[in-house]
Structure 1
Amino acid sequence: MWHRAPRWRRSKSVGALTLALLATACIGPRPEPPATTAVAPPPAWRTALGTGAPIRADWWSAFGDPVLTGLVARALANSPDLGSAAARIDEARAAARLARAQQTPLVSGAAPGTTGQTVSPFGTPSDAIGAQPAVSISYDLDLFGRLRLASQAARAQLLASEAARDTVRLGIASSVATGYITLRALDQRLAVARQTLAARAEGLRIARRRAEAGYTSNLELRQSEAEFHATEQLVPAAQLAISRQENALSLLLGDNPGPIPRGRTLDQLAAPAIPDGLPADLLRRRPDLYQAEQTLVATDRSLDSARAAMLPNLALTGSAGVVLSTALANPIAVFSIGASVLSPIFDGGRLGAQADAATARRDQAAFAYRRTALQAFREVDDSLAGVQRSGQQAVALAGQRDALAGALRNASNRYRAGYSAYIDQLDAQRGLLTAELSLVQARADRLTAYVTLYQAMGGGWSRADAEVVQR
């Protein structure tokens, strides 16, 4: 993904070749980047899932909930983090303009006024008032590309800043989607708790009537009361979790704490289709990976610029103007042109230390790029596995829930008919509640895995994206 440009280009000019050889002799060979920065995708990270249907670019709309789409739009419009990222882009853009301006001539003008006395040929002094307007031009020839390389570094840093903003956008959208899925899962947990509590209340009523009539002992009544209160505490716990989740989403939306609108239920949220194969190059759309790549490019160009600063620098200067004075019958035109060569002779190792520091920064960026790439492959593999395994878990838990629901019906009928003890019905009730809550969590985990996969792939994809990957 990243290739170092050759330090010296071929030139037909003997003078340019001589300068290149002189520069190489003065500053030594260019430090190469660490060899361990090469990253190859894992050979088996592709996983055949889905039907290969295309996905829209605004990937959060693939869940089919207009409320979720509106929440993401609000968060992207009101996020202070995006505002801060935009300000950093403006700063990087100004730095890039400044670096480009360093390569252009500098033109300045001055018009100083003077007063004094003049002596005529006959020795008679007289007062004189004059002015010397002048225009001066200075230009750095940049023989060894110091300014050009600094401009390229600033440009790459600008691209890295834009990628950082995209990273923030992707993170905000993913956080809102994950938070909304969690909120809908908490809503469903609250519904399960209330349904179970109603069933427990009915069981407690029957147990109390049977105990009062003498058909059962007070032990079954106390067990029914304990089970009712155990379920009762689930309701305020779920309500507290919902309030906290709504406040967290309000913060992402840039609003004060308050209720969050609801759309589709957890079971109604669509499961997006995933293409059968996603190429490894598609990961280059990840903004954090692109940011690391451009940061590496910027540090590499900064290294070359720091090395070029150790070579002689040739600057051209010129000025032209006129002398206007009351002591002169006609104005006098004056001009000057010259060149200056600035070369470090002894700086105590300052420039060498700056070049070594630039080399170290380049190496740090190279290792950071490798770490980011490896992290990207891991996140994609984890997300694909999460989508697949959490779906299998949800199917198994749905079967368990159905079986336990049937067991509870049988245990309730046998208990009312007097063929089994109350403990059998109690065990079936506990197992069914646990299975229903686990099923809600598994479905939420599966949808969250989809969000994580979208984030790992840098945002939405389509079949065309899988065929041709371009930045």
Structure 2
Amino acid sequence: MRKPGSLTFLLALAACAGPRPAPPVGVAVVAPPAWRTALGPGAPIRTDWWNAFGDPVLTGYVVRALANSPDLGAAAARVEEARAAERLARAQQSPLVTAGVPLTDGQTVSPLGTPSTAIGAQPLVQASYDLDLFDRLKSASAAARAQALASEGARDTVRLAIASGVATGYITLRALDHRLLVARQTLAARAESLRIARRRAETGYTSNLELRQAEGEYHAAEQLVPQAQLLIARQENALSVLIGDPPGPITRGLALDRLTAPAIPDGLPADLLRRRPDLFQAEQTLVATDRSLDSARAALLPGISLTGSAGVVLSTALANPIGVFSLGGSILSPLFDGGRLRAQASAAAARRDAAAFAYRRSALTAFREVDDSLAGVLRAGEQATALAAQREALAGALRNASNRYRAGYSSYIDQLDAQRGLLTAELTLIQARTDRLNAYVSLYQALGGGWSSADITDVNR
């Protein structure tokens, strides 16, 4: 299990020849005062946070999407590529051994001047090894290791985004289903009002004005049904493609108002952000660029390489084979390269600094997203509570207005105003509940997989 480092930016200063460039200024990242640290390093990532909504159908869709997603498959392939690059970098630190048997034809001349035909063969085994006194290869291997971990963070970011997209899409679909239900109920109520208005107009109890108003309101409600059906069809198609199926109908689970809203503790540990895969990716990218700088600076220094070879010489001019071997070393140091190596080191330093600021930006973005999601959960919940109370009041007002209209104590306009107000309140309530549930999804995503009861217990100690 990976263990991300601290949210506070600390550049690793590995031993290397020469003074090290100063780290960029102002990259420290500090948690907001409201955050409380309770978890230790290496807290596990939750991979089943979608179960908190209590809908097995939603859980099944998320599992299918993670299994069928081509984006996740491509991210996994990039992880394998990065791991192969890491193995290649490690292999550069090992000795290189080659073998060969070159064949030659020719003549040799004896001491008496008599030529003779000779066929020579020299089976050779050659080995070379870079001592890597200044850790150039070691730093390159560490950079490849960090880059492989960063690719894993990118893969987990895709995984979290897919799960969040499925959850948001499913919640949106259930909200559209509720909107369609409200539209059909409203259409039925308007049809009843139209029936009463037509009967009253036919008997001469009222003018045709009320009849025309009732007809207009009926058709206004009538267009809400196909509009909601169109949105549902599009959302079903989008969700089907997301889970890896052809566009088509989607099986439903719990209704929107039955989805569970998990409890959130008063304070969340800041170390929960250490589970965020994008923050882990930024952190490992910073480590990779830092180690690449080590390797680039080490390339400015002399490199020492040991080489050796051994073989056997066979010839008709020799009575017995001759064994040959050689052992030596070489010291290579750049004398004049036009500033190439120093330019490469400067570019590596610039990439390191850019990665440091990118890490800081990722951490600050993580804090903002968590605070935004918490505010969304809280404020959307408060709005939903107020809208529910408003809906009840307007439903009572509609009942009173309908009774008075039927009894002839009030005009149709009073009932019409109550119907319009109730419809607006119901649609707004649906949107508020949807926003609240989607804010939970955003919070789970912002925390890199949510929280557990053990986390809440630790926070409340």
Whether these two folds match at TM > 0.5 is: yes
Tell me the amino acid that sits aligned with residue 246 of structure 2. Answer: N
Q: C-alpha displacement at 1:281, in angstroms? A: 1.5
Residue 340 of structure 1 pairs with residue 330 of structure 2: yes
| Structure 2 residue 149 is the aligned partner of structure 1 residue 142 | no
Q: Tell me whether 1:388 sits opposite 2:378 in the alignment.
A: yes
Show the counterpart of 2:228: 238
Q: Does 1:321 align with 2:311?
A: yes
Offset of 1:326 from its aligned partner?
2.5
Task: Measure the CA separation in 2 of the matches of 1:468 and 1:127.
Answer: 88
In the TM superposition, residue 463 of structure 1 has moved relative to its aligned partner by 3.6
Instruction: Structure 2: give runs of 5+ residues left out of the alignment.
Output: 1-5, 37-44
Count residues with an aligned counterpart: 444
Matched, 1:112 2:112: no
3-state SS in 2 of match to 1:137: strand
Shift of 1:124: 2.2
Task: Check conservation: 2:443, 2:450, Cα contact below 8 A.
Answer: no
Alpha-carbon RMSD across the aligned residues, in angstroms, is 1.5
Quote the offset at 1:262 in angstroms: 0.5
Choose which of 234, 255, 272 in structure 2 pairs with 1:265: 255
Contact 1:167 1:287 in 2 (8 A): yes
- The one-letter code sitting in structure 2 at the alignment partner of 1:310 is L
Distance 2:387 2:13 in 1: 59
Relative to structure 1, is the Cα distance of residues 298 and 164 closer, same or farther in structure 2, using a 3 angstrom cutoff?
Answer: same
Worse overlay, 29-38 or 289-298: 29-38
Structure-2 residue corresponding to 1:294:
284
Q: Following the alignment from structure 1 to structure 2, what is the Cα–Cα distance between the partners of residues 62 and 330?
A: 82
Instruction: From 125, 148, 155, give the equivalent of 1:158.
Output: 148
- Cα distance in 2 for partners of 1:146, 1:74 equals 45
For residue 97 of structure 2, what is the amino acid of its counterpart? V
Equivalent residue, structure 2, for 1:417? 407
Counterparts of 1:19-418 in structure 2 under 5 Å?
A: 23-24=17-18, 29-45=19-35, 57-418=47-408
Q: How many angstroms apart in 2 are the aligned matches of 1:306 and 1:137?
A: 25
User: For residue 12 of structure 1, what is the aligned residue in structure 2?
Assistant: none
Counterpart for residue 4 of structure 1: 11
Instruction: Quote the Cα distance in structure 1 between the aligned partners of 2:191 and 2:410.
Output: 21
TM-superposed CA distance for 1:466, in Å, is 5.8
Structure 1: which amino acid aligns with 2:358? A
User: Per the alignment, in what secondary structure is the counterpart of residue 256 of structure 2?
Assistant: coil
Query: Aligned partners of 1:118, 1:45: CA distance in 2, in Å?
Result: 87
- 440, 452, 461: which one aligns with 1:450: 440
1:427 is matched with 417
What are the Cα deviations for residues 275-333 of structure 1, in whole angstroms up to 9, with x where unaligned? 33211121011000000000000000001110000001111111111101232211101
Cα distance in 1 between the residues matched to 2:437 and 2:163 = 14
The 1:115–1:56 alpha-carbon spacing in structure 2 relative to 1, beyond 3 Å, is: closer
Question: d(CA) in 1 for partners of 2:144 and 2:135?
Answer: 14
Given that 2:200 and 2:206 are in contact with CA atoms closer than 8 Å, whether structure 1 keeps it comes out as: yes
1:27-79: CA deviation from partner (whole Å, max 9, x where unpaired)? xx211221211010111256xxxxxxxx9750101111111000001100110
The alignment partner of 1:216 has SS state of coil
Task: Tell me, in whole angstroms, the C-alpha distance in 2 between the residues paired with 1:374 and 1:150.
Answer: 29
Q: 1:252 to 1:206 in 2, by over 3 A?
A: same
- TM (normalized to structure 2)? 0.94
Cα distance change of structure 1 residues 468 and 125 upon mapping to structure 2, 3 Å threshold: farther
Which sits farther off after the overlay, 194-203 or 318-327?
318-327
| Aligned counterparts of 1:417 and 1:456: Cα–Cα separation in 2 | 56
**Structure 2: how far apart are the matches of 1:251 and 1:390?**
29
Matched position secondary structure for 2:314 = strand
CA displacement at 1:122 relative to structure 2: 3.1
What is the SS of the residue equivalent to 2:116? strand
Deviation at 1:145, TM superposition (A): 0.5
Query: In the alignment, which residue of structure 2 is the partner of 1:13?
Result: none
In 1, Cα distance between the equivalents of 2:148 and 2:458? 25
The offset of 1:126, in angstroms, is 1.7
Q: What letter matches 2:376 in structure 1?
A: G
Q: Report deviation, 1:129.
A: 1.3
Is the CA contact (8 Å cut-off) linking 1:312 and 1:342 kept in structure 2? Answer: yes
2:12–2:290 contact (8 Å) kept in structure 1:
no
Structure 1 runs of 4+ off > 6 angstroms? Answer: none
Q: Distance in 1 between matches of 2:409 and 2:342?
A: 92
